[in-house]
Amino acid sequence: MRIKMEEIKKSNEKGKKVVRKRVKVTKKNTNKTTEKTAENKPAIVKNQIIKKQNNLPKISVKENKLPKVSKKENLAPAVSKKDDLTPTAIRKKNKSIINLGLEENPIAIKEDFMFKKENLKIIPLGGIEEIGKNITVFEYGNDIVIVDCGVAFPEEDMLGIDLVIPDFSYLEKNKEKIRGLVITHGHEDHIGSIAYLLKQMNIPIYATKLTCGLIQNKLQEHHLDKVAKLNEVRQGQTIVLGKMRVEFIRSCHSIPDSVALAIHTPVGTVVHTGDFKIDYTPIDDQKIDLGRLAELGNKGVLALLSDSTNAERKGYTMSESTVGEVFDKLFLNCKKRIVIATFASNMHRVQQIVNSAVANNRKIAVCGRSMINMIQTAVELGYIHAPKNIFIDLDMIKNYSDDQLVIITTGSQGEPMSALTRMANGEHRKININSNDLVIISATPIPGNEKYVSKVIDDLMKIGAEVVYSALADVHVSGHACQEEQKLMLSLVRPKYFIPVHGEYRQLIAHRNTARQMGIPADNIILMKNGKIVELNETEAKVSGTVQVGKIFVDGLGVGDVGNIVLRDRQHLSQDGLIVVVLTMDSEGNVVAGPDIISRGFVYVRESENLMDEVKAIINIEVMKCVDNHIRDWSTIKNSIRDALKDYIFQTTKRNPMILPIVMEI
């Protein structure tokens, strides 16, 4: 049982490291293990090592560690009696064991391998630097989730336009990626364009109970209620849309069933507040879920998109319940008929009007189509609680005395065709305002509507009615958060990136300043623009490009057929009027009949006969010039007449009417 010690000593003398290895060999047909030395050819050892190597367990790359080897799976190859255990052979043998799979077949030991995650794209198609038309696209990989789809109301220079909707071109190009449309609440600036979008693509819609009811009314008007995929969700529920999960968080606004959204993506969670305020005493006792927002903030929020409508206002927004107290005081001991104008969608306000009417034994009549539809839907779904027979038809008001009536009407913004405006002008068919009426305008003018509201108030007072509005009493509170509430939202959510939305530019800037006060770095605050693509991940945010956006005008039944050119012509006509020149010529260029002059919006022809005669003379001169120059092209003749009249009329009147020459040939 001796190892050849002489060779070992010689190796030590040469300074080489000698490896001694005790190899356990199990004899056949016995359980006793003994130490054996044997001689064998190197080829036998090599073959045994290769054979054993093939039986080795695989190394786990993912766990970043070598596998455990049991006693039965000893890495040392079995040694026969004939194995050569000389120092040289032992070194070769051990080297082969150490290098198994590492030199001949190297295995890379790496950390957990993951593909790089894609960026989350946030693309506003509307609602930035404007009021209304709210729609935002969240895109991750091949999945798109749309948040809200609203309308904007026409501005003063949009003559004849009924509604303004977003440009859906980007959604049309990527409609196979769209997983759903998610709605935060039921106001027009968030649901008004849904029917127009569904006419281009039928996508599933997810909204709370009341919001679904209001959307259903819209779809019925467009005959889409049978084909739309309308899905009702609950506050607190989470739905899966592709690789994104959308959580509906209870919020508070001027309409019930409002929600904020937590959009969970592979790169992080994005919170979208929707329109909100923090009301600790709401009418329906449904307080905003601040606890869930704080919980999300503790887990980490990648970005916060927050309502900026009231970002310029300091302090807090008053509770909706304070308006009810003012109503009670106005109703108490009032002997007049009470007419209240408010937003049709403000159901909390309507509920408080109902409460005051019931307390003072008054019946309620509703005026205005949108108000009737809204109240009917809210009562059916249980969002307005009222005794039976409290509501009466407008035709029945003559059967009640003034002190037994309340009339709820639309027109709080002074819209020209609204019910209240027609009452003030004496044009309403069923309601005549008189000195025994108390008119309460329970709203504040939207920017741009101030002069319309002021005119309605003046006209009502001229009739003799008593008018109460926000400047005289607290008959209105906002449904949007002021600065202190916005600070609370930022404190709870604690986002890495902050994106102010839903407001004009000055309001976005004010909200940005508030976020800076709350400690969010300036580089992490993103001022977006409609059409800009913002890409987010855990480490950076960047603007990566643009998509097509714009305003699509709805005029009657026409959608998009009125563009900027048509609007410019309408503005031209409204400012300077129109002159039509009718002329009949034969094939040789001789004037057979005319010229006749038709004026609309320019001058009254009968009072401007001298001007009309001079205009006719100039037309005849221009026609003779064309004849003398052998010009037979009607287009050239029309242009000559137009240019000559344009110069003459401007020099004479300093006006620039639209001129339309019509040349007929016989």
DSSP letters, 479-521, are SS--HHHHHHHHHHH-EEEEEEESB-HHHHHHHHHHHHHTT--
- Which segment of 204-213, 540-549, 619-628 scores lowest on mean pLDDT? 619-628
Q: Walk across the sheet containing 244-250 and list its strands.
A: 238-241, 244-250, 259-265, 268-272, 301-307, 495-501
- Distance between alpha carbon 276 and the CA centroid of its chain, in Å? 14
Residues 6+ apart with CB under 8 A from 496: 268, 300, 301, 302, 303, 524
- Beta-carbon contacts of 243 under 8 Å, excluding residues fewer than 6 positions away, are 140, 141, 143, 265, 266
Q: Under a CB-based contact definition with an 8 Å cutoff, are residues 494 and 304 in contact?
A: no
Which of 187, 190, 476, 480 is catalytic? The answer is 480
Tell me how far apart the alpha carbons of residues 327 and 569 are, in angstroms, rounded to a whole number.
47
Higher pLDDT pick, 48 / 165: 165
**pLDDT band with cut points at 50, 70 and 90 for residue 44:** very low
Domains and CATH numbers, the chain: 5-98 (no CATH), 120-315+479-554 (3.60.15.10), 321-468 (3.40.50.10710), 577-665 (3.10.20.580)
- Decide if 250 contacts 282 (C-beta within 8 A): no
Q: What is the mean pLDDT of residues 558-565?
A: 66
483-493 helix and 505-517 helix, angle to the nearest 10 degrees:
60
User: Whose CA is closest to 467, among 477, 455, 458?
Assistant: 458
Per-residue pLDDT, averaged over 225-246, amounts to 93
Average pLDDT, the chain: 81
Burial profile 47-66: b = 16 or more Cβ within 10 angstroms, e = fewer: ebbeebbeeeeeeeeeeeee
328 a catalytic residue: no
Burial 213-247 (b: 16+ CB within 10 A, else e): bbbebbbeeeebeeebebeebebeeebebbbbebb
Three-state DSSP class for 569? helix
Q: Tell me the C-alpha distance between 277 and 255, whole Å.
A: 11
Residue of 279, 307, 437, 459 with catalytic role: 307
CA distance 590 to 583: 10
Whether 348 is a known active-site residue: answer: no
Residue 71, C-beta contacts closer than 8 angstroms, at least 6 positions apart: none
- Closest to 409 in 3D by CA, of 396, 422, 398, 399: 422
* Residue 363 parent element (H or E): strand 363-367
> What per-residue confidence (pLDDT) applies to 649?
80
> Which one-letter amino acid corresponds to residue 43?
A
Per-residue model confidence (pLDDT) at position 88: 47
**CA angle in degrees (0–180, nearest 5) for 503-508-512:** 150
pLDDT(61) > 50: no
Instruction: Dig out the tokens for 135 from the structure.
Output: 């729609």
Per-residue pLDDT tens digits for 384-443: 999 988 999 999 999 999 999 999 999 888 888 889 999 999 989 899 999 999 999 999
Cβ atoms of residues 378 and 427 within 8 Å = no
Using a cut of 0.75, tell me whether the model's pTM lies above it.
Answer: no
pLDDT in tens, 330-381: 999 899 999 999 988 889 999 999 999 999 999 999 998 889 989 999 999 9
Instruction: Read off the pLDDT of residues 65-95 as tens digits, 9 standing for 90 and up.
Output: 444 444 444 444 444 444 454 444 444 444 4
pLDDT of 99 above 50:
no
Length of the chain: 666
pLDDT at 289: 96
Contacts of 597 (CB under 8 A, 6+ apart): 579, 580, 581, 582, 605, 612, 615, 616
pLDDT of residue 104: 43
